[in-house]
């Protein structure tokens, strides 16, 4: 059986970073339309089963209601039978369910934060992330129909080596007092704050240190602080960390959509895989993971960040579709 999972975050692309910038929020009706196109593409290529995470807004339910009379779509797709809370735990629980159910591919609608949560629960199941978030370093800006065709080919060819269809993302492991606490896919940022509050990080004056797995000047988010000085590609087997200092090199960086800030960057150090690097000692403070505040550091807490290379598998859409063409699956 070919099984594709879909996890669509109704809250992605709607946080305070868009309110304080020039960016418009990503509407849920837009996400529903993407889901409809995904479902039709998956059905056209013959995926036998699609399971969609339920949510309080009803993204999946509304997409299915419209497609109920479409041949093959209504019978192949259904919502996952799971409790929902309206928080990130829903995405984690859905990813864990899909992994246990034997999913061949998981399509994610969200930003870097959503991808981070899904990656914690998906195991070795490949992800195809579609950009509907605020920070979108990991997700693709891709049309839903095309994404559905690529996800279908991955699901229909489970015996193909993952390296032929996917590439492996790096990740950052966070340890607090010598115990592993959490992980991030793109960046970990030390923020001067006493509590999580509004999760999104958008005030430059609060930044103290940034760790990255990748950093390109062509993306949005805190990783661009390093990307504007030392670009690091997704395939490079290294990362970087930099301190944020008012008197450091002044770097212009797009830290949020429509928000370009001049920020002082201090010493820039290369991260080697498997080697822990200490987090600066300012306490209390908060660690933001992929742009969202998650971990409160109290007085006396010792924190370390370690770059590892065995993050989630990400579907290479272009390579996958070229293989599909070679395979002749679009010929009738």
Query: Are 130 and 28 in a shared domain?
Result: yes
Which contacts (CB < 8 Å, 24+ apart) does range 292-299 have? 292/113, 292/199, 292/200, 292/201, 293/191, 293/193, 293/196, 293/197, 293/198, 293/199, 293/200, 293/201, 294/182, 294/196, 294/199, 295/174, 295/176, 295/181, 295/182, 296/194, 296/195, 296/196, 297/176
Residues 105 and 178 in one domain: no
* CA neighbor of 261 nearest in space, from 300, 298, 220, 296: 220
Amino acid 76: pLDDT: 86
Range from 18-27, 96-105, 149-158 carrying the lowest mean pLDDT: 18-27
127 shares a domain with 11: yes
Buried-exposed string 157-168: b where 16+ CB fall within 10 A, e elsewhere: beeeeeeebbeb
> Taking the CB of residue 237, how many other CB atoms lie within 10 A of it?
10
Provide the number of structural domains found in the chain.
2
Is residue 77 one of the residues assigned to a domain? yes
**β-bridge partners, 168:** 313
Task: Please report whether residue 135 resides in a domain.
Answer: yes
Q: Are residues 126 and 244 in the same domain?
A: no
242 vs 18 pLDDT, higher one = 242
Structure tokens at 199: 């999760």
| pLDDT at 183 exceeding the cut of 70 | yes
Tens digits of per-residue pLDDT, 116-142? 999 999 999 999 999 998 778 999 999
Q: Minimum mean pLDDT among 12-16, 67-71, 195-199, 270-274: which range?
A: 12-16
| Domain of 222, in residue numbers | 171-308
Question: Could you tell me if 252 and 228 are in contact, meaning their C-beta atoms sit under 8 angstroms apart?
Answer: yes
Name which residue leads in pLDDT, 197 or 54: 54
Is residue 69 assigned to a domain?
A: yes
**160 and 60 within one domain:** yes
> What is the dihedral sign for C-alpha 210, 215, 221, 224?
positive
Residue 18 has a pLDDT of 47
Domain presence at residue 332 = no
Whether residues 250 and 318 fall in one domain: no
Locate 276 and state its tokens.
């822990």
> Alpha-carbon distance 15 to 4, whole Å?
28
CB 256 within 8 A of CB 17: yes
Query: Which of the four pLDDT bands, split at 50, 70 and 90, describes residue 69?
Result: low
Edge-first strand listing for the sheet containing 3-8: 77-79, 49-52, 3-8, 105-110, 127-131, 313-315, 166-168
Interval 58-85 mean pLDDT: 85
**Same domain, residue pair 143 and 201:** no
Q: Please tell me whether residues 150 and 197 are part of one structural domain.
A: no
CATH code of the domain containing 124: 3.40.50.10330
Domain shared by 74 and 164, yes or no: yes
Indicate the average pLDDT of the chain: 92
CATH of the domain at 271: 2.60.200.30
Is 278 inside a domain boundary?
Answer: yes
Condensed to tens digits (0 to 9), the pLDDT of residues 194-251 reads 877 667 787 899 999 999 999 999 998 999 999 999 999 999 999 999 999 999 999 9
Q: Are residues 125 and 240 in the same domain?
A: no
Same domain? For 30 and 144 the reply is yes
Q: Indicate whether 146 belongs to any domain.
A: yes
For CA atoms 168, 174, 178, 180, the dihedral sign is negative
> Is 15 in the same domain as 151?
yes
What is the average per-residue pLDDT within 256-285?
A: 95
Residue 186 has pLDDT above 90, yes or no: yes
Res 75 pLDDT > 80: no
Tokens of 12: 């992605």
| Peptide bond connecting 272 to the previous residue in cis, omega within 30 degrees of 0 | no
The stretch 292-320 carries a mean pLDDT of 97
280, two tokens? 């600066």
Q: What is the pLDDT of residues 21-46, one digit of tens each?
A: 555 567 899 999 999 999 999 999 99
- Structure confidence at residue 40 (pLDDT): 94
> Token pair for residue 274?
């498997």
């Amino acid at each position: 059986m070919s099984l594709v999972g879909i996890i669509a975050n109704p809250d992605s692309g709607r946080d305070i970073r868009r309110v304080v910038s020039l960016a418009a929020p990503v509407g849920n009706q837009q996400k529903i339309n993407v889901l409809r196109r995904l479902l039709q593409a998956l059905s056209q290529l013959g995926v036998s089963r699609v399971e969609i995470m339920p949510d309080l807004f009803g993204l999946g339910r509304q997409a299915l209601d419209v497609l109920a009379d479409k041949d093959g779509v209504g019978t192949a797709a259904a919502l996952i039978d799971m409790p929902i809370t309206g928080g990130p735990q829903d995405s984690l629980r859905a990813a864990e369910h899909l992994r246990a159910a034997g999913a061949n591919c998981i399509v994610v609608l969200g930003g870097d934060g959503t991808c981070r949560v899904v990656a914690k629960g998906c195991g070795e199941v490949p992800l195809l992330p579609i950009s509907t978030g605020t920070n979108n370093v990991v997700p693709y800006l891709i049309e839903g129909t095309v994404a559905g065709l690529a996800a279908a080919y991955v699901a229909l060819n489970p015996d193909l080596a993952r390296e032929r269809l996917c590439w492996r993302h790096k990740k950052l492991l966070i340890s607090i007092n010598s115990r592993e606490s959490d992980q991030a896919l793109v960046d970990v940022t030390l923020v001067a704050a006493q509590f999580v509050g509004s999760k999104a990080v958008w005030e430059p004056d609060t930044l103290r240190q940034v760790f990255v797995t990748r950093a390109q000047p062509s993306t949005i988010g805190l990783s661009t602080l390093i990307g504007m000085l030392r670009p690091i590609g997704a395939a490079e087997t290294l990362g970087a960390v930099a301190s944020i200092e008012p008197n450091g090199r002044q770097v212009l960086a797009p830290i949020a959509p429509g928000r370009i800030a001049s920020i002082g960057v201090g010493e820039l150090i290369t991260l080697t895989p498997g080697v822990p690097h200490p987090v600066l000692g300012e306490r209390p403070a908060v660690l933001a993971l992929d742009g969202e505040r998650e971990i409160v550091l109290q007085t006396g807490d010792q924190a370390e960040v370690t770059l590892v290379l065995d993050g989630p598998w990400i579907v290479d859409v272009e390579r996958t579709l070229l293989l599909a063409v070679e395979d002749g699956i679009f010929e009738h």
